[in-house]
Structure 1
Amino acid sequence: MLIAGRAIVFCFVWEERMNTRRTFLASLTGAASAIALLAISGVSAHAEGLKIGFSQVTLQSPFYVQLKNGAEAAAKASGDTLVFLDANGDVSKQNNDIQDLITQGVDAIIINPVNPDAVAPSLEAAEAAGIPVITVDRPTNGGKVAAHVGRDNKQMGKLVGEAVVAKLKADGVSGAKIIEIQGDAGGAVMMDRRDGFHAAIEGSGHTIVEGPYAEYIRANAVTAMQDLLQANADVKVVYAHNDDMALGALQVLKESGRNDVLIAGVDGLSEALETMSSGGEYVATALNDPQYLGDVTIQVAREAAAGKDVPSFVDAGTALVTPENVGEFPHSALFAEYRPQVLGK
């Protein structure tokens, strides 16, 4: 009886252990299913600790320095790591940099392309690696891109052009010669700012003299304006594709004692707004807050890295600034602040 009793006890204990094991396995299977379900449903869509790559066209322009700063601040605030690489205007270096980011296994790649066509091999490589690409400021021509974050540069040029036409009309000036200092040859931003401005001037009776490409750099614009002024002494307006170049042109005009020439630019550089506030010849710019552009780009990159649908174009917004409304825009930083709600509207 004692042996039989032990057998009964053993069988009971064994059965209890098996039941416990079955319960544990069932719980483990259920947990695994729950984890898979959470992953599919994107619950961890905004987990911290993403690694985001950023291939920047150049840091020679203060705009692009501030764009970098805005992206870095936004990534830090989200607990992410931003791997930043400067192409320094070199297409080959940019493609090599992007390949490096792919090798590092980043979760998303932000590209401000040196050339809209030349980064095609990089876009193909990123797609093959399953890494979403977001372009910022300058779009690419073709290739798989999750989203482009920028502003309507054609509209910006048009707004500035309309302000110039209105000012000339108010001053009673007809048939004015307008010098245009351009950005970079073949650049999408350059073409849009040119085309928008030209559309506003068309039919006004004014004439545009297309100047050289000064690469958005003030020193280059100074050199260009010195030559342009000699060849076009009857100039009435200078329009530059960014404020930095416009201020370079203004410097040459002041040094030449020319206070009768109107100046207009794009980007909302705070120095331009200060010049406008103090009176004088600076008549228009369009806001293009680069730090906010960087902030929005990081937000879009996080969405894309989580596999969420993002708009093909995210417009960070702009506004025209003239001497009449310049006081409405904060401009204590390098660029005037303009942060409209553009995501989650």
Structure 2
Amino acid sequence: MKMTRRYLMGAAAAVALASSAQAQDKGTVYYMVPTLLDEFQTTSVDAIESFFKDVGYEVVTLNADNKTDVQQSQMADTILLKPAAIVLAAVDFNALTPSIEEARAAGIPVMQFDRQITSTVSDLTSVAGTIEIGHVAADEIKRLLTEKKGAVSGKILQVLGDPGDPYTLDIQKGFEEMMDGTDVEIITHPAMQWEASNAGSIVADELLATPDIDLIFVHAAHLAVAAVASLEAAGKQPGDVMLVSSNGAPVGLDLIRQGWEQVEVEQPLFAQAAALAMFADKVVNGEEIAPGTYDVLGLESVVTIEDWGPNIKIPGAAITAGNVDDSRFWGNLQAPSDPISPVE
């Protein structure tokens, strides 16, 4: 059955969809997407709809347009419909806590996608292993330096995102702990507010101050675009200064194809969505989720039981010129076609 995507807002829209709640045997899951203004979020809708369909649920998507009050209203309206479950990617972590508690008090399980909320209990949280992304990046950078210089040595410019964001701080932590003990100098600067223009300025300035930089590691693909612009302005050609990025966005994959970027460490969007669907039956039926290691789309993922409930953390994968066209990477904007199965 072909599913129809719906991006709806407000009480009237929610009531209009009430009749869809029994469209499949297992019922309807409502996905609260924070915004549709970037490719990660729009692709998450495709992935969640596809994977939940595999395990027998219809998905209705409600777009909050990045407005906290809209998402709070959507949660309240959805609670009245008594869906099988809610998947939430919160606009505001703290502001949505009461809504989560109200849903669960009404007997509706709540699963968190990508944005971890630790201030209250949820029924399952699926997040990227950001420290592990740093580990993967370090392993790839060690390989690149060894291939170029014969040893893990040289100078690396690391461009963080905003220093107030735990996402970039965790990547930095994982990267630097894996690079500890090597003969590498790491020069680190933050791109405030994750602004690409700030990253471009950092790269331009550092190329003047440190002209023998071997590799640039940026924490998001859109920052890599700005880094390439600065490299071009300095007269560099693809490969003169190696470039590694993280998150796996389409622009990063394009830079690999163009030769500017050697590795993109993916934020595992598809696996994060698949994990929620794999455990959906257990969540909906109130069954225990056992801690341990699970294979999620080929990625070794770990479930732990935290104060905020079961939490599955999924590592990123390294994207290179050799595998850049693989459909399993979300940056190619094509959800995997192989169906998934529920966890028994």
Deviations 1:233-274 (A, max 9, x none): 235433222334323432442354333322112233455445
The 10-residue stretch of structure 1 (280-289 or 106-115) with the greater mean CA deviation from structure 2: 280-289
Paired position in structure 1 for 2:287: 308
Q: Which has the higher strand share?
A: 2
Q: Which amino acid aligns with 1:265?
A: S
Paired position in structure 2 for 1:326: 323
CA distance in 1, matches of 2:75, 2:199: 36
Alignment of 1:69-84 (within 5 A): 69-78=46-55, 80-84=57-61
SS in 2 for 1:193: helix
SS in 2 for 1:285: strand
Pair 1:158–1:301, CA change in 2 (3 A): same
Pairing partner for 2:157 from 170, 178, 182: 178
Pairing partner for 2:62 from 70, 75, 85: 85
Q: Which amino acid aligns with 1:225?
A: A
Q: Which amino acid aligns with 1:320?
A: A
Paired position in structure 2 for 1:228: 202
SS in 2 for 1:199: helix
CA distance in 2, matches of 1:161, 1:63: 24
Paired position in structure 2 for 1:120: 97
Q: Pairwise CA RMSD of aligned residues?
A: 3.4
User: How far is the alpha carbon of 1:71 from its aligned partner?
Assistant: 1.0
Pair 1:194–1:114, CA change in 2 (3 A): farther
Pair 1:281–1:85, CA change in 2 (3 A): same
Bigger Rg, which one: 1
CA distance in 2, matches of 1:129, 1:197: 42
- What TM-score do the two structures reach when normalised by structure 1? 0.70
Pairing partner for 2:113 from 106, 130, 136: 136
Pair 1:69–1:245, CA change in 2 (3 A): farther
Paired position in structure 2 for 1:241: 219
Pairing partner for 2:262 from 283, 286, 294: 283
User: How far is the alpha carbon of 1:143 from its aligned partner?
Assistant: 0.8
Is 1:293–2:293 an aligned residue pair?
Answer: no
Q: Is the 8 A contact 1:154 1:196 kept in 2?
A: yes
CA distance in 2, matches of 1:114, 1:192: 21
Aligned length: 292
Paired position in structure 2 for 1:32: none
Paired position in structure 2 for 1:262: 242
Q: Percent identity?
A: 19
CA distance in 2, matches of 1:318, 1:224: 25
Q: Which amino acid aligns with 2:203?
A: L
Q: Which amino acid aligns with 1:304?
A: V
Is 1:148–2:145 an aligned residue pair?
Answer: no
- What TM-score do the two structures reach when normalised by structure 2? 0.70
Q: Is the 8 A contact 2:163 2:190 kept in 1?
A: no
Deviations 1:269-302 (A, max 9, x none): 4554454355x34222223442443233234334
User: How far is the alpha carbon of 1:176 from its aligned partner?
Assistant: 1.3
CA distance in 1, matches of 2:69, 2:168: 21
Pair 1:97–1:153, CA change in 2 (3 A): same
The 10-residue stretch of structure 1 (327-336 or 108-117) with the greater mean CA deviation from structure 2: 327-336
Paired position in structure 2 for 1:190: 168
Query: For structure 1, which runs of at least 5 residues remain unmatched after alignment?
Result: 1-46
The 10-residue stretch of structure 1 (302-311 or 269-278) with the greater mean CA deviation from structure 2: 269-278
Is 1:110–2:87 an aligned residue pair?
Answer: yes
CA distance in 2, matches of 1:292, 1:210: 30
Q: Which has the higher helix share?
A: 1
SS in 1 for 2:189: strand
SS in 2 for 1:134: strand
Deviations 1:32-59 (A, max 9, x none): xxxxxxxxxxxxxxx7251212122332
Q: Which amino acid aligns with 2:269?
A: P
